[in-house]
Copies of this chain bind each other. A is one copy, B any other.
Amino acid sequence: MNKLIAFFFFVATFTSVAEAQNKYPLDAALLRTDNDSTIIKKFFDHALTSGKAYEWLDTLSNKIGGRLSGSKEAAQAVDWAERLFRSLNVTVIKQECMVPHWVRGEKEKGSIIPFKTKNIISVPICALGGSISTPPDFKAAKVVEVKNFEELEKLGRKNIEGKIVFYSRPMDATQINTFSAYGGAVDQRWGGAMKAAPYGAVGVVVRSMTLSLDDYPHTGAMGYNDTIPKIPACAISTKGADLLSKLLKKDPETKFLFKTSCQKLPDEKSYNVIGEIKGTEHPEEIIVVGGHLDSWDLGDGAFDDGAGVVQSAEVLNLFNALGIKPKRTIRAVMYMNEENGGKGGEKYAELAKQNGEQHIFAIESDAGGTTPHGFSLKGDSLMIEKILSWQNLFKRYNLYSWFRGYGGADIDHLEKQCPVLSGLSVDSQRYFDYHHAATDTFDKVNRRELELGAASMAALIYLISEYGLK
């Protein structure tokens, strides 16, 4: 788009433009006399003109990078988070927690070996998080392809024993919300090894959890059960999965071989890192905004969930920059170990209970740093009604989607201690292209989209802080 016509249209249609940046008085008393709509606009204006979240994300992603729990990068991220909160002049709290320490080891290798040609075809794979490594004597094995656990059950031990089970059900591309598509397929990744081992499978290979057809394997947590033998599990790229399916159709004797050298080391000490602004009128009522500081190791974790942690810190930064003293206490929580254990979320809830803290609202941003569309909400109906009554204040920012739904993996540990949990709902189309893969990198994040998410949460938290939820 270009051109005179467009130009005249825009100039004629929209009021504009070119106001000075950073023009807001830092006088809290003055701000208090403004109306809510004006203050909400200030959150958005400041975030879009002077927000810091994008710079912070650049550092976290590009200077530290992927930061799986227990890694040296995760420890660096904890230090970075502490320094960041100190630079904002907010109270810093660190909560120690023990976290799993799983390491990937050498780059994994996967290959398809058609029986007829014996031409070995390399395919991109990676170990699933938490998997044991392939044993030294692991050999190429025949493959049983299944779409779900029901098919597995029907095939039974006689068809599965000694083979590798290949879970090939794709995410459902017709779901408009890609998280629904993920939810409908990820049982294969989490439960695949546990389900296949009892039938004598020697390993599992799972189609990557993405809607993109490409050459990147997507890792993510998988589970074992102590009563069931542990077998190694890997993810294969979607193109690799399509190829394997195709070759198996042509030649059912096709074998698959993969080699991983991952291992579980002893648990490590790590931390949730929290920045806090005490409330002026009801300091005992706590509002949490959070994301998770750990990430998978293949990319730099900018989307999952660097975006959420820098947005959370930005919420505090916006209150400070605008000189708004919240009536209730606001905590930005960078949780540790969301990806493969949830120990940080658990610890936060445990300490909150132990300390008799009163949480009134918790929101998590863990769906990537894309354009926000609204909020999912769960919990006390009357309180949610109160929140929903504010929707009109958000329409000019295109936050049209307020619905009953999920909170977040970290804050859900607070479910019994916090009457309302919320998730920042964002445009989900691109998310799973990058999720848990080498493609989850800083360059995929757009500064404005990221800042709009931070401002959206700040604005909602502002209203809750002003008016409470009772």
Residues of chain A having any CB pair with chain B under 8 Å? 1-7, 9-11, 13-14, 16-19, 21, 44-45, 48-49, 147-148, 169-187, 190, 211-212, 220-221, 223, 296, 304-305, 338-340, 342, 366-367, 371, 373, 396-398, 400-401, 405-406, 408-409, 412, 427, 429-430, 433, 435-436, 446-449, 452
Contact B2 A338 (CB under 8 A): yes
A14's closest neighbor in chain B, by CB?
A: B180
The interface residues of chain B lying within 8 Å CB-to-CB of A14 are: 175, 177, 180, 183-184
Q: Considering residues A1, A184, A339, which has the most beta carbons from chain B within 10 angstroms of its beta carbon?
A: A1
Q: A17-B172, A18-B147 are in contact. List 6 more A-B contacts (CB 8 A).
A: A1-B305, A2-B339, A3-B409, A5-B342, A16-B183, A433-B446
Contact B7 A190 (CB under 8 A): yes
Q: How far is the CA of A436 from the CA of B6 in the complex (A)?
A: 15
Which are the 6 A-B pairs with shortest beta-carbon distances?
A10-B183, A17-B184, A16-B184, A14-B180, A45-B174, A1-B366
A397's closest neighbor in chain B, by CB?
A: B176
If A18-B170, A409-B2 touch, whether A371 touches B183 (CB-CB below 8 Å) is: no
24 contacts between A and B (CB under 8 A): A1-B367, A1-B408, A1-B409, A2-B436, A3-B342, A6-B409, A7-B187, A9-B183, A10-B182, A10-B186, A13-B183, A14-B175, A16-B180, A16-B181, A17-B181, A18-B169, A48-B173, A49-B174, A176-B397, A176-B452, A211-B448, A373-B398, A429-B448, A429-B449
The interface residues of chain B lying within 8 Å CB-to-CB of A175 are: 14, 16-17
Q: How far is the CA of A14 from the CA of B371 in the complex (A)?
A: 22
The interface residues of chain B lying within 8 Å CB-to-CB of A212 are: 447
If A18-B147, A148-B18 touch, whether A429 touches B406 (CB-CB below 8 Å) is: no
Q: How far is the CA of A172 from the CA of B17 in the complex (A)?
A: 5
Q: How far is the CA of A313 from the CA of B249 in the complex (A)?
A: 34
Q: How far is the CA of A204 from the CA of B177 in the complex (A)?
A: 47
Contact B19 A172 (CB under 8 A): yes
Q: Considering residues A48, A212, A433, A435, which has the most beta carbons from chain B within 10 angstroms of its beta carbon?
A: A48
The interface residues of chain B lying within 8 Å CB-to-CB of A10 are: 179-180, 182-184, 186
Work out how many copies of this chain go into the complex.
Answer: 2
Q: How far is the CA of A430 from the CA of B452 in the complex (A)?
A: 12
Contact A412 B5 (CB under 8 A): yes
Q: How far is the CA of A338 from the CA of B4 in the complex (A)?
A: 10
The interface residues of chain B lying within 8 Å CB-to-CB of A7 are: 183, 186-187, 190
Q: Kindly provide the distance from the CB of A52 to the nearest chain B CB, expressed in whole angstroms.
A: 14
A340's closest neighbor in chain B, by CB?
A: B2
Q: How far is the CA of A4 from the CA of B366 in the complex (A)?
A: 15
Q: Kindly provide the distance from the CB of A188 to the nearest chain B CB, expressed in whole angstroms.
A: 10
Contact A48 B398 (CB under 8 A): no
The interface residues of chain B lying within 8 Å CB-to-CB of A220 are: 2
Q: How far is the CA of A178 from the CA of B190 in the complex (A)?
A: 41
The interface residues of chain B lying within 8 Å CB-to-CB of A170 are: 18
The interface residues of chain B lying within 8 Å CB-to-CB of A184 are: 10-11, 14, 16-18
A183's closest neighbor in chain B, by CB?
A: B10
Contact A406 B304 (CB under 8 A): no
Contact A3 B397 (CB under 8 A): no
Contact of A371 among B13, B45, B190, B427 (CB under 8 A): B427
Q: Kindly provide the distance from the CB of A370 to the nearest chain B CB, expressed in whole angstroms.
A: 8
Q: How far is the CA of A436 from the CA of B3 in the complex (A)?
A: 12
The interface residues of chain B lying within 8 Å CB-to-CB of A176 are: 44, 396-398, 452
Contact B4 A221 (CB under 8 A): yes
The interface residues of chain B lying within 8 Å CB-to-CB of A190 are: 4, 7
Q: Kindly provide the distance from the CB of A60 to the nearest chain B CB, expressed in whole angstroms.
A: 17
Contact B401 A398 (CB under 8 A): yes
Contact A223 B409 (CB under 8 A): no
Q: How far is the CA of A171 from the CA of B5 in the complex (A)?
A: 18
Contact B371 A406 (CB under 8 A): no
Contact of A5 among B169, B367, B409 (CB under 8 A): B409
